[in-house]
């Protein structure tokens, strides 16, 4: 046990999660369960073992949940483990040229060109936009009247899309926002269907449903985004580079590769706008939804977050997210219990050894944050909700490679600081103003459909405190 700390049980509870089957699933059951909800495939053994091998029809999967071996795969020997095509296809369907899916030298150029867009100073400059999005949502909730019932999961996808719209296109999308949002949902619904074929590594050429519809949606997006970019380029011509506080689109258009001084091609700008919208939308929405759910079940933590929000939101905007330490601990605990990207995968290029196991070229390496974050060897009371693990006095005792909601190494999430800041600020701003109560007949269940989301939404009653 690496992370020992006495837990105050009065404030913790065990939130819903599949009970790991005692035995591994047989192939047919595995296929059916993968299709329904991959989270339910993880048998008890995987939460106890540092490493395990699973034989699949087309490949061998090595499940790695030993922190030292994970560091070896993601950092020390990262060159030997490429993002595998399955994961790239699932996460980046239609976003072939964005940072999430490019490889090799193209990735290196994009990564170093885009790094300043997500540096701490830039992310901090988006605090007001995040507060504005929370404020707009609060106004909407007020207008619904007292004790309104809402689906908090759907509301959180609205707010994260709004934050992205405000931070990428600060002067609006120049078209029909609702149409844009509807196309966005259609896109996510399209790529949300992960077939068992995909998970078994069947070649891309095998026919799959929904591709054509997805292409139509992508074409719509590309058209809208091209128009926005063209308008912005006209506006930026002749404007001094250091004027005001630029949004992500301006930063993208002005970004230069530090090694060569070259700007990005327009096609790459467009792909990365789509990538930010896609990678930053549902992931952060689910983080917020799960945080809200967990707080709805934990009165004392709700009170602590509210008290902190009352105090800190009255202070300066500067440094706000850094002062919201209790709120952030709740967000980090939600990311531990329900990591939006529940599994990462890589393909071994050459032979290697991981935790004593020989790795052959082409082996599929799976690192599942969902399993890692509940691993019996790494966490005390792994299935219990206890944000105190992430409070500043003990946060440093969590081993770096036991907690990976944003991955690690060269391909770590470029938007991690953005997402953490957004989730912390939005959660504080909403909990400050509203009490929330899960509807008595609500079914809450985690389901992995690209991201780890509440399968039946989160129907809640929100009640405004005195205004």
Number of residues this chain uses to bind ligand HEM (CB under 6 A): 24
Residue 366 binds ligand HEM (CB under 6 A): no
Burial class (CB in 10 A: 0-12, 13-18, 19+), 368: buried
* Residue 94 found at the interface with ligand HEM (CB under 6 A): no
Smallest gap, in angstroms, from Cβ of residue 360 to ligand HEM? 21
Q: Does 111 bind ligand HEM (CB under 6 A)?
A: yes
d(CA 65, CA 355) in angstroms, rounded, equals 10
The alpha carbon torsion through 166, 168, 169, 170 (nearest 10 deg) reads 50
Binding residue for ligand HEM, selected from 414, 428, 430, 460, defined by CB under 6 A: 414
Distance, in Å, from the CA atom of 338 to the CA atom of 451, rounded to the nearest integer, reads 10
283 touches ligand HEM (CB under 6 A):
yes
Residue 291 binds to ligand HEM (criterion: CB under 6 A)? no
Least distance to ligand HEM, CB of residue 394, Å? 22
> x/- string (CB under 6 A) for ligand HEM, residues 335-354?
-----xx--x----------
DSSP output for 143-208: HT-TTEEEEHHHHHHHHHHHHHHHHH-TT--SS-HHHHHHHHHHHHHHHT---HHHHHT--TTS--
| Alpha carbon distance 229, 235 (integer Å) | 10
**104 or 356: CB nearest ligand HEM:** 104
**Neighbouring residues of 145: CB distance < 8 A, sequence distance ≥ 6:** none
CA quadruple 136, 140, 146, 149: dihedral positive or negative? Answer: negative
Of the two residues 118 and 385, which places its CB atom closer to ligand HEM in the complex? Answer: 118
| CB contact at 8 A, 69 and 81 | no
Toward ligand HEM, which CB reaches closer, 133 or 419? Answer: 419
306 binds ligand HEM, rule: CB under 6 A: no
Report if residue 276 touches ligand HEM, rule: CB under 6 A: yes
- The whole-angstrom separation of Cα 320 and Cα 328 is 11
Q: Does 275 bind ligand HEM (CB under 6 A)?
A: yes
Residue 411 within binding range of ligand HEM, rule CB under 6 A: yes
Nearer to ligand HEM, 12 or 345 (CB): 345
Instruction: Specify burial of residue 437 (Cβ count, 10 A radius: 0-12, 13-18, 19+).
Output: middle
Which lies closer to ligand HEM via its Cβ, residue 150 or residue 161? 161
Check binding of 279 to ligand HEM (CB under 6 A). yes
Q: Does 415 bind ligand HEM (CB under 6 A)?
A: yes
Residues of span 374-393 touching ligand HEM by CB under 6 A: none
Query: What residue ranges bind ligand HEM (CB under 6 A)?
Result: 83, 87, 99-100, 111, 275-276, 279-280, 283-284, 287, 340-341, 344, 405-407, 411, 413-415, 418-419
């Amino acid at each position: 046990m690496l992370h020992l700390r006495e837990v105050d049980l009065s404030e913790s509870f065990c939130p819903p999660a599949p009970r790991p089957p005692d035995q591994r699933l047989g192939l047919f059951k595995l296929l059916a369960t993968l299709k329904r909800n991959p989270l339910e495939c993880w048998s008890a053994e995987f939460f106890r073992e540092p490493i395990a091998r699973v034989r699949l029809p087309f490949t061998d999967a090595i499940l790695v949940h030993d922190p030292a071996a994970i560091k070896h795969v993601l950092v020390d020997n990262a060159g030997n483990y490429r993002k595998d095509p399955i994961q790239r296809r699932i996460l980046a369907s239609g976003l072939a040229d964005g940072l999430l899916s490019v490889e090799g030298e193209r990735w290196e150029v994009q990564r170093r060109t885009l790094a300043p867009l997500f540096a701490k100073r830039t992310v901090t400059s988006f605090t007001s936009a995040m507060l504005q999005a929370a404020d707009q949502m609060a106004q909407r909730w007020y207008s619904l009247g007292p004790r309104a019932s809402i689906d908090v999961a759907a509301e959180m996808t609205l707010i994260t899309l709004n934050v992205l719209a405000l931070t990428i296109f600060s002067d609006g999308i120049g078209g029909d926002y609702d149409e844009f949002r509807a196309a966005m949902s259609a896109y996510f619904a399209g790529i949300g269907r992960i077939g068992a074929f995909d998970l078994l590594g069947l070649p891309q050429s095998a026919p799959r449903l929904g591709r054509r519809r997805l292409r139509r949606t992508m074409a719509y997006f590309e058209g809208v985004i091209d128009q926005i970019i063209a308008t912005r380029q006209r506006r930026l011509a002749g404007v001094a580079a250091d004027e005001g506080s630029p949004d992500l689109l301006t930063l993208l258009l002005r970004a230069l590769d530090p090694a060569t001084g070259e700007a990005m091609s327009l096609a790459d700008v467009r792909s990365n706008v789509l990538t930010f919208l896609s990678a930053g939308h549902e992931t952060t929405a689910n983080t917020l939804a799960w945080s809200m759910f967990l707080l709805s079940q934990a009165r004392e933590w709700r009170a602590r977050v509210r008290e902190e929000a009352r105090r800190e939101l009255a202070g300066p905007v500067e440094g706000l997210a850094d002062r919201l330490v209790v709120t952030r601990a709740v967000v980090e605990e939600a990311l531990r219990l329900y990591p939006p990207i529940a599994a990462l995968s890589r393909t071994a290029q050459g032979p290697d050894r991981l935790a004593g196991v020989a790795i052959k070229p082409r082996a599929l390496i799976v690192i599942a944050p969902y399993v890692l974050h509940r691993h019996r060897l790494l966490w005390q009371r792994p299935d219990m909700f206890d944000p105190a693990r992430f409070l500043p006095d003990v946060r440093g005792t969590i081993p770096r490679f036991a907690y990976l909601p944003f991955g690690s190494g060269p391909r770590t999430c470029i938007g991690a600081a953005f997402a953490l800041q957004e989730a912390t600020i939005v959660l504080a701003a909403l909990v400050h103003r509203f009490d929330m109560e899960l509807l008595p007949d609500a079914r809450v269940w985690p389901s992995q459909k690209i991201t780890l989301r509440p399968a039946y939404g989160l129907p809640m009653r929100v009640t405004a405190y005195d205004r």
